[in-house]
Structure 1
Amino acid sequence: MIQTENIHGVYVIPSNESSLIWFGVIFVRNGPYEDGIFRFTIVLDENFPDCEHPKVVFQSEMFHPVIDPVGNELNLLNAFPKWNKSEQHLWQVLKFIQWIFYNVDASVAHVVNTEAAEMYKSNKNAFKAKAQEIVNLSKDHLYDEPPTEDKHYIIFEPYVPEVHDKIRMSMITFQEEQTSKIGHSWVLPGTYKSLARPPTPQSESES
């Protein structure tokens, strides 16, 4: 399901050591956080999905209305007040992670960082400057040593054409092949509910 959704710029992989931990990264393409590369970790309860919503924690310092400034945890309570395993899935959490970086104005309703929210509402230029500080910080630490020995933790290396060009081309080819195989799921705009397609208009012969 994750592969069939339109979650551009977001990549996740389960931990090699525990299926309850997922490592992720989001590449932000535009908006106040343009060019940001933010790693995050998703932590699932051992009873998941028969429990509360997952926990999402960003790995670098963040300044965003819906991310706690102390622990860098994303506030999911407003978006998912009660986790319902029959209607809510991990791909929706990833969609929400993507959404907050491109819809800062709407995300203020989920505020846990009041300083960021007030700055966004009162001085957008100052907010954008602060957001770019966070972006630069994320890039400054892009090549840091991983905080874990888990071999599935997402790491980055400087691009070396002699090493990476061949890998890059094989990835592009693979992606093109997979894209031709992917189907579509119905999700109403503005919702996170799967299989919710718009009503099909009746033809004149049916009306």
Structure 2
Amino acid sequence: MTMAYGNVDNLDEDDIDGHNFFCQIRYEYSLMSEYAQLQRHSIPGVYVLPSGQTSHMWYGLIFIRSGVYQGAIYKFTLTVSKGYPDDGCPEFDFQAGVFHPVVNCETGELDIRREFPIWRRGVDFLYHLLAYAQGIFYNVETRDPLNVEAAKLYNSDQDEYQARVKQSIERCKQEVLAPNVHDPHSIKFAEWNTDVMKAARTMIFEPEFLDTAEEDQEEPANAQVSGLSWVKKGTTQPFSKDKL
């Protein structure tokens, strides 16, 4: 898309406001498009929700289901600059305490540059970054590590490495329960409550708890006793408004 202005220095105040507005709309559209792509290219075990306070931050969780890190649940924050996708790689930060050669254990920073040395507009997308962030736990690399200790243990003492990983997993699981009080859209967890889950399961799987508007209507002899339908019971009329 060609910009209408050749030199920002020559713009008057109204032009600059219009230019900034256009850039903001373009930025918001880019992120909406990226989020839609993530929904189309869903990654099993990765869950993401945009911040409720700013469009350039996403909150997420990664679940690891096999390998050395099996059972791990890691919170993360993905941050993009207001010049995205033209001004470099986004930032990806796990919660502190992740023990991995390409993650800074103290800050949670993920080494993105090894996979995306240059962020290429129209080629690299945020779902690629999310897939990479999950993939590091299945294919551990130790070249040019951010966590030197983790890399050395992985190469020389697998028993100790796995013991440290398990300690890290347990710590991070506890931190997952800590709520982010600053943003209502952050993904929240609570301790397992058997009574709550039992009630939810009952509502899902037992037909008498389903919301049926015509519950007292006489059922046809061959009526289905479970499941949902977009058609009224005993008829072929769909649930749509009557024509005026």
TM-score by length of 2: 0.64
Counterpart of 2:69 (choices 3, 24, 33) is: 33
Structure 2: how far apart are the matches of 1:154 and 1:6? 17
The answer on 1:54 being equivalent to 2:87 is no
Q: Which runs of 4+ in 1 moved over 3 A?
A: 166-169
Structure 2: how far apart are the matches of 1:155 and 1:6? 20
Decide whether aligned partners of structure 1 residues 110 and 42 sit closer, same or farther in structure 2, where only a CA change above 3 A counts: farther
Structure 1: how far apart are the matches of 2:135 and 2:188? 24
Decide whether aligned partners of structure 1 residues 113 and 123 sit closer, same or farther in structure 2, where only a CA change above 3 A counts: same
Residue 100 of structure 1 aligns with an amino acid whose one-letter code is I
**Partner-residue secondary structure (3-state), 2:127:** helix
Counterpart of 2:56 (choices 20, 26, 30) is: 20
Structure 2: how far apart are the matches of 1:138 and 1:167? 32
**Partner-residue secondary structure (3-state), 1:109:** coil
Residue 152 of structure 2 aligns with an amino acid whose one-letter code is E
Structure 1: how far apart are the matches of 2:42 and 2:148? 30
Percent identity over the alignment is 33
The answer on 1:144 being equivalent to 2:169 is no
Contact 2:98 2:108 in 1 (8 A): yes
Counterpart of 1:9 (choices 17, 38, 45) is: 45
Decide whether aligned partners of structure 1 residues 24 and 95 sit closer, same or farther in structure 2, where only a CA change above 3 A counts: same
**Paired residues, number:** 166
- Aligned CA RMSD, in angstroms, stands at 1.8
- Give, in angstroms, the shift of residue 31 of structure 1: 1.3
Structure 2: how far apart are the matches of 1:168 and 1:44? 38
The answer for the alignment partner of 1:120 in structure 2 is 154
Decide whether aligned partners of structure 1 residues 20 and 166 sit closer, same or farther in structure 2, where only a CA change above 3 A counts: farther
Structure 2: how far apart are the matches of 1:109 and 1:167? 51
Matches within 5 A, 1:1-207: 1-5=37-41, 7-104=43-140, 107-109=141-143, 111-146=145-180, 148-159=181-192, 160-165=196-201
- Give, in angstroms, the shift of residue 50 of structure 1: 1.0
- Give, in angstroms, the shift of residue 125 of structure 1: 1.1
- Give, in angstroms, the shift of residue 108 of structure 1: 1.8
Decide whether aligned partners of structure 1 residues 24 and 166 sit closer, same or farther in structure 2, where only a CA change above 3 A counts: farther
Q: Deviations over 1:31-78 (max 9, x none)?
A: 111111100000111111111101011123111000012311000011
Residue 63 of structure 2 aligns with an amino acid whose one-letter code is F
Higher relative contact order (CA 8 A, sep 6+): 1
Contact 1:31 1:102 in 2 (8 A): yes
- When Rg is computed on C-alpha atoms for both structures, the one with the higher figure is 2
Larger mean Cα displacement after TM superposition, 74-83 or 155-164? 155-164
TM-score by length of 1: 0.74
Q: Deviations over 1:111-130 (max 9, x none)?
A: 21111111000011111111
